[in-house]
Amino acid sequence: MPSKKLLFIFIIVLLIAGGGVFQWKRMHAPAAAPAPLPASSAQLPLVALSAADTVVLEKIELEQTLPLSGPIKAVNSAFVKARLAGELQDLLVREGDKVQVGQVIARIDPTEYQARLRQAQQQAQSAKAQVDIAQRSYDNNRSLVDQGFISKTALETSAFTLAASQASFQAAQSGVDVLQKALDDAVMRAPIGGLVAQRLAQNGERIAVDTRVVEIVDLSRLELEASLSPEDAMQVRIGQSAQLRIDGAEQGISARVARVNPSASATNRSVVVYLSVNPHPQLRQGLFAQGSLATGAQTLIALPLSAVRTDKPQPYVQAIVQGKVVHLPATMGIRGEYQGQTMVALEDMEPGLRVLRGSVGPLLAGTPVNIDEAKK
């Protein structure tokens, strides 16, 4: 029995000693090996580019411009309106027809006005007859007064009657003139030469006074009406040139500032600028044009606006330094036009720096780049 107790005590002592040895080995074990680096820190692949994919910063004469847009309108346009109420007749012109100044466009049925004119003429003839009668009566009474047969009071009465008759005749004659004018107004003529833009009535319609019948536009002189902010309008001067683009037109169109509205809009304080547009066979009234107005020029360090990237919180350019891509923050200045493309001035960069164009796309900083100068 005592031997079993001794065996049990011996086992317990062995367990305690084994646990101490394990704890000592754990405390004095060597440090674990470091984890392998992530794959993203591996060597970036080489990117081959041509010289045309880059642009070198240099000082250029940057033409400062203002963007503008607006409708094209004819300087001379007019509506042919009805001056009389009546039935429309003889309207033969249609959209696109060419008309001359004074050409007959249409007529108002003159039957009613012809009858009124005849009536007024007959009333004038009747008044003229009364004048003749009053004149003869006055002449006779004056002879009788000279002979002493009647008093001067009777002569004065004859004179008043003659004056009243003459006034009535003059009033009747004025009525004839008014109706003659109305009959002339029944014929509608073109006030300007040009092309018919709209036909707003049809033959046989009963139209009222001032009804628009035809619109005529003169395409020999066109202008652009552009609204500018007060700040931009301060830079506009008479004679400044502009280049315009119109949807569907193959070539750009030249324009020049002709007038500046002296008053600003009461709603948004904008100022309307009128640009005289050079004649062009593709231009029509109502077309929408947009372009840029040249306001001056400065010599600055600039590059194409498309080369400045904005996919980060701060604009930047992808420069090539020692054969690798470097992202440099870009502080943009004024914008302008140079050789047909939009440029932007950079205020914190030196000339000679090679920058990737916007067509290349984004590259990671540190990407090695090989520029093939032979490819343009």
pLDDT per residue over 167-217, tens digit each?
988 998 998 898 898 889 899 999 999 999 999 999 999 999 999 999 999
The more confident residue out of 206 and 34 is 206
Mean model confidence pLDDT for the chain: 83
User: What pLDDT, on the 0 to 100 scale, is given for residue 281?
Assistant: 78
pLDDT above 70 covers what percent of the chain?
86
Q: What is the pLDDT of residue 105?
A: 94
Residue-level pLDDT at 81: 94
Binning pLDDT at 50, 70 and 90, where does residue 5 land? low
Q: Which is higher by pLDDT, 262 or 373? A: 262
pLDDT confidence of residue 168: 87
Q: Quick one: pLDDT at residue 161?
A: 82
The winner for highest mean pLDDT among 91-100, 110-119, 294-303 is 91-100
The closest alpha carbon to 272, from 261, 280, 283, belongs to 261
Per residue in 147-176, pLDDT (tens digit) is 766 667 776 777 888 888 889 889 989 988
Question: In CATH, what number does 47-64+298-372 get?
Answer: 2.40.420.20
* Pair 347, 331: CB distance under 8 Å: yes
Local confidence band at 31 (pLDDT 50, 70, 90 cut-offs): very low
Cβ-based burial of 38 (10 A; exposed 0-12, middle 13-18, buried ≥19): exposed
Query: What confidence score (pLDDT) does residue 261 get?
Result: 92
With CA atoms as reference, report the closest residue to 274 among 110, 120, 136, 73.
73
Q: Give dist(CA 182, CA 83) in Å, integer.
A: 8
Q: Enter the DSSP assignment of 280.
A: -
Q: Quote the pLDDT of residue 156.
A: 75
pTM above 0.85, yes or no: no
Lowest-confidence segment of 3-17, 18-32, 171-185, 226-240 by average pLDDT: 18-32
Q: Record the tokens describing residue 54, joined without a space.
A: 């880059």
Ranked by mean pLDDT, the top range of 218-227, 337-346, 348-357 is: 218-227
Residue 349 pLDDT:
83
Helix spans in 206-255 (H): 230-233
